[in-house]
Amino acid sequence: MNTPARQKRHNQEDANPGSSMRLPVLEELANVIREQLEERGWFKMREPTVSSGEFRVIGEKLGTILSDGKIQILGNPVSLATSDQPLALHNDEPHARYLAWYCEQQQAKDAVGTDILDISDFRRSLGEDVVLTLSTIVIPGSGRQHKDETAMVLVNGEARPNFVPWARHTLDNPEKERALEAFRNYVVAKAERPDAITSVILGEGEMLFLHNNRYLHGRGPLKGGSTRCLRRLWIGD
Ligand SMILES: O=C(O)CCC(=O)C(=O)O
């Protein structure tokens, strides 16, 4: 019998994004996503029953949430991502192992996708010397989580690329200039290969998960007045 107390608990569970009834389902989804990210670097999920709140719960199961915000055009943009400008291929905050976007609203006409490019062979292609030099190139106050980031971040022997083509880099010796040039040339050569870039278009309720240390991402311009709105998570270890 549905007692008033039981009915009340049900109603609370429906309202709560991480309701205890749904937690095993979300846990299972997070396991699948983690496996896909570690195997192939990205995963698009069509799961219309997952709400934006539950998307965050999935993110929490994948790691520590470093940032949770909206990518949509703002009257006074606080970043390129919140303007109608195109975004060249880049990495987000390098301490975020995974990135995730949940489409809350897509542009009514001419849906805009997120472009992704596999750079998982960067360490072998660039070589250890270049990787080490990149880790000494400061990108001053780039306005992300860590104020002075470097073009490569080394964490416990792992190299995390931080490719931000529009940012000012401190290049105080020729070795750094050469290393950054090599990084840029590497990305250009990768992007020029046929079918290298995949454009992932999200419809409402769809999600994209990306390994930020293995893939670059970007997007084309948005239409002025676009209602496209993605909820974005940066997920650290
Ligand atoms: O709007 C998009 O599809 C990508 C946004 C982006 O580049 C970012 O979140 O850093």
What pLDDT is recorded for position 80?
Answer: 85
What pLDDT is recorded for position 112?
Answer: 95
What pLDDT is recorded for position 210?
Answer: 98
Q: Which residues contact 213 (CB under 8 A, 6 or more apart)?
A: 91, 94, 97, 158, 159, 160, 161
Centroid of ligand 1 to alpha carbon of 6 (angstroms): 42
Work out which ligand 1 atom sits closest to the CA atom of 228: 1
Tokens representing 38 are 């570690």
Work out which ligand 1 atom sits closest to the CA atom of 87: 7
d(CA 66, CA 61): 13
Q: What is the pLDDT along the chain (237 residues), one digit of tens a residue?
A: 333 443 443 334 344 665 777 899 999 999 999 999 999 999 999 887 899 999 999 999 999 999 999 999 888 888 888 888 999 999 999 999 999 999 999 987 889 999 999 999 999 999 999 999 999 999 987 656 656 789 999 999 999 999 999 999 999 999 999 999 999 999 999 999 999 999 999 999 999 999 999 999 999 999 888 999 999 999 999
Decide if 54 contacts 17 (C-beta within 8 A). Answer: yes
Q: Assign domain 11-236 to a CATH class.
A: alpha beta
Q: Is 114 in the pocket of ligand 1 (CB under 6 A)?
A: yes
Centroid of ligand 1 to alpha carbon of 1 (angstroms): 49
Q: What residue ranges do the domains of the chain occupy? A: 11-236
Q: Is 144 in the pocket of ligand 1 (CB under 6 A)?
A: no
> Kind of pairing, strands 215-219 and 87-90?
antiparallel
Give me the helices (H) in the chain, please. 4-15, 23-40, 52-62, 122-126, 128-134, 174-192
> Kind of pairing, strands 206-211 and 42-46?
antiparallel
* pTM of the complete model beyond 0.75: yes
Q: Is 228 in the pocket of ligand 1 (CB under 6 A)?
A: no
Q: Is 219 in the pocket of ligand 1 (CB under 6 A)?
A: yes
> Phi then psi for 125, rounded to 5 degrees?
-70, -40
| Vertex 56 angle, CA 53 and 59, to 5° | 160
Q: Is 116 in the pocket of ligand 1 (CB under 6 A)?
A: no
Q: Is 81 in the pocket of ligand 1 (CB under 6 A)?
A: yes
